[in-house]
Structure 1
Amino acid sequence: MTKALERREKLRADLIQAAERMIAERGLAGLKTRDLAREIGCANGAVYNLVADMDELVLRVGSRTLLRLDKVLSTAVSAGNPSPQETLVRIAIAYCDFAAENLELWRAMFEHRMEPGKEVPDWSVDDQLQLFRHIYAPLAALFPDRGTEELGITARSLFSAVHGMVALGLEQRLVAVPLPALRKEIAGLVRAMIDGLIARAA
């Protein structure tokens, strides 16, 4: 790699890290090109020599957030030998805690909308889908007779239920729920859903 390419890659990494800090501090709406350029020491227009557009920049930050979430979920189930149901409970609570501790970065992944006519690139979709293995594997152990597609739908449904509770529970408004209570309610929801699925399968 030439010196020029090395400098560009370093500046690109600095840009993504600066964007991550800015979103964490200000939220997605606070991400401004001129502030990013000033922070990394480049001209305003030079930002778009490092990434294609703001969509790519936000998605790159999102991939970093997803990577950290992936590690958190893996750690949550690494201790002991939890049952598949308890694994799902641990994952759900770990997801809630991660969202609470990384609120603006977590929100940004769901608030961001691509420019009209643009699709989310494959690399970003792959980063998102990778995390579903944490839900899919214990579900496959619980329901070995189910096909891949059916398990995938169940995994997405379970995630949607937990995500909805987290999103509403962490709102700084009337529906806000204290974190210890939210953890307890999420655990109860996951156990109830799995118990119901097991009963229906029987």
Structure 2
Amino acid sequence: MVDVSPRPAQPDIRRALIDAAATILAESGPDGLSTRQLAREVGVSTSAVYTYFGGMDDLVRAMAYEGFARLNSALTASAGSADPVADVVRLGRIYRENALRHRHLYAVMFGGSALAGFSLTDEDRAHGLYTLDLLVKAVERCVRAGRFRDGDATLVAHELWMSIHGIVTLEIGGYLFQPYDADTCFDAQVCTLLVGSGDDLDLARASIALAGAGPAAEEPAA
């Protein structure tokens, strides 16, 4: 007797569909993303798209959620140190590295023209805020250590995030060149943000150096 029961979902196929869909969106725009094209790219039947996702809006939502999940995994893999300011800088570097490595998902995470014709709810857009938790805690440690002035740690974390997001967006778009390339702009902007939060300039520069260098100059993965 032939077994016609549904095949169980396979995480590797789901991940492949998400990555392929994000790549298609980035390279061909919303009009290029169809179940047929997506299935062809992954090497599965069109019904697989509906097996793993209820429809295209659900697929786009899954792309955004997956992007934030990968970001959170990268951030949580970073162990804290005795220098909370260096930890803040390190989290910023990880954010940048993750965006470059998963740049197609990064575009979906924050909506924009890449999602024209698809729908993300306000709840979907607020979903990724949980990835700021580690940064908020690092900022609180900076305050307790006397490096940052007392204030709203969540607001400071948002200010840091918005600034680094802007640099990363310009870098991915290819708008940062010598002599003010992405590494130079990143370190200069982070230093300004640290000092603006109350840190001493020399201590801020030392913490930036302690946090390590930026991402290696290599072709990032999709």
* Aligned equivalent of 1:42: 45
Larger helix proportion, structure 1 or 2?
Answer: 1
Relative to structure 1, is the Cα distance of residues 118 and 78 closer, same or farther in structure 2, using a 3 angstrom cutoff?
A: closer
Q: CA deviation at 1:188?
A: 2.5
Amino acid at match of 1:96: R
Unaligned runs of 5+ in 1: none
Structure 2 match to 1:21: 20
Looking at structure 2, the residues matched to 13 and 177 of structure 1 have their Cα atoms a distance apart, in angstroms, of 37
Offset of 1:131 from its aligned partner?
0.8
| Higher mean C-alpha displacement, 134-143 vs 20-29 | 20-29
TM-score normalized with structure 2 length: 0.67
**Paired residue for 1:102?**
102
TM-score norm. by structure 1 comes to 0.72
| Deviation >6 Å, runs of 4+ | 114-118
Identity %: 20
Letter in 2 for 1:189: Q
Q: Offset at 1:187?
A: 2.4
Aligned equivalent of 1:168, options 134, 158, 170: 170
Indicate the residue corresponding to 1:136 in structure 2: 136
Deviation of the 1:15 alpha carbon: 4.5
User: What RMSD in Å do the two structures reach over aligned CA positions?
Assistant: 3.4
The answer to whether the 8 A contact 2:57-2:120 is kept is no
Q: Show CA shifts across 1:1-37 (max 9, x none).
A: xx845x2534x86245223124236627243221224
Contact 1:96–1:166 under 8 Å retained in 2 = yes
The 1-side partners of 2:95 and 2:120 are apart by 29
Decide whether the 8 Å contact of 1:88 with 1:190 is kept in 2. no
Q: How many residues get paired?
A: 186
**Contact 2:24/2:33 (8 A) holds in 1:** no
Match of 2:79 in 1: 78
**Aligned partner of residue 9 in structure 2, secondary structure:** helix
Say if 1:33 and 1:43 are closer, same or farther in 2 by CA, change over 3 A.
closer
Aligned equivalents of 1:190 and 1:171: distance in 2? 20
Shift of 1:57: 0.8
Cα deviation code 1:33-86 (max 9, x no counterpart): 212244454346x744642332221221222222222222233x427x251211
- Per the TM alignment, residue 140 of structure 1 is displaced from its structure 2 partner at its CA by 0.9
